[in-house]
């Protein structure tokens, strides 16, 4: 507490002519503003402005898990990229890393608990649960996550809204 949007939307208090954000990410959002001057909620305002908003998803933890996975399993001297993009009202978080090789069969099991695609790494300081935790976070919020491969790059894409 306080949650974002507690006071609601009060246009008289605006400091600019409109919203200048491509998207809004908040941990918690108040759906019932308490200020008597409120003209609506932040969620309503974002929707009218066609700005996607994400609420209640632990995006920091999700990003940390995906980056940790990329660092551990990227090939030597490889590349890691993070991308956040908007397509319509949907926001996608993607983490990519180069990888020497991964089979389509291994790709199908990456979200399984305790699964390791790289059998040579018998113990890397983790237990093979990171991606299953990421999947659990995403599914608990009725969102989607999937892994894919394009050439020497593996990517994880999260559909946040």
Task: Count CA within 13 A, CB hemisphere, residue 6.
Answer: 4
Angle at 127 between CA 125 and CA 130, to 5 degrees: 105
Q: Is the pTM higher than 0.85? A: no
Distance CA 9, CA 38 (A): 5
Q: Note the pLDDT of residue 123.
A: 45
Q: Note the pLDDT of residue 82.
A: 92
Q: Note the pLDDT of residue 80.
A: 95
Q: Note the pLDDT of residue 122.
A: 46
Segment 2-22 shows an average pLDDT of 81
Q: Evaluate whether 84 touches 160 at the Cβ level (below 8 Å).
A: no
Segment 63-83 shows an average pLDDT of 90
pLDDT at position 34 over 70: yes
Distance CA 76, CA 62 (A): 24
Segment 107-123 shows an average pLDDT of 67
Q: Please name the residues in contact with 21: beta carbons below 8 A apart, sequence gap of 6 or more.
A: 51
Segment 83-98 shows an average pLDDT of 86
Q: Note the pLDDT of residue 125.
A: 54
Of 69, 72, 56, 82, which Cα lies nearest the Cα of 3? 56
pLDDT at position 88 over 90: no
Distance CA 78, CA 11 (A): 49
* DSSP per-residue codes, 31-54: SS---TT--S-HHHHHHHTT--EE
């Amino acid at each position: 507490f306080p949650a974002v949007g507690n006071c609601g939307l009060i246009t008289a208090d605006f400091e600019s002519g409109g919203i200048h954000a491509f998207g809004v990410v908040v941990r918690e959002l108040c759906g019932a503003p308490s200020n008597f001057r409120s003209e609506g909620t932040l969620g309503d305002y974002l929707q009218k402005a066609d700005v996607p908003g994400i609420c209640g998803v632990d995006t920091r933890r999700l990003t940390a898990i995906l980056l940790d996975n990329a660092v551990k399993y990227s090939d030597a001297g490889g590349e890691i990229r993070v991308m956040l993009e908007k397509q319509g009202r949907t926001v996608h978080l993607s983490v990519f890393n180069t990888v020497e090789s991964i089979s389509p069969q291994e790709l199908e099991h990456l979200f399984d608990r305790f699964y390791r695609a790289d059998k040579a790494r018998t113990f890397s300081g983790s237990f093979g649960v990171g991606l299953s935790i990421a999947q659990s976070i995403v599914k608990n919020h009725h969102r989607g996550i999937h892994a894919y491969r394009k050439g020497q790059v593996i990517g994880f894409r999260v559909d946040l809204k």
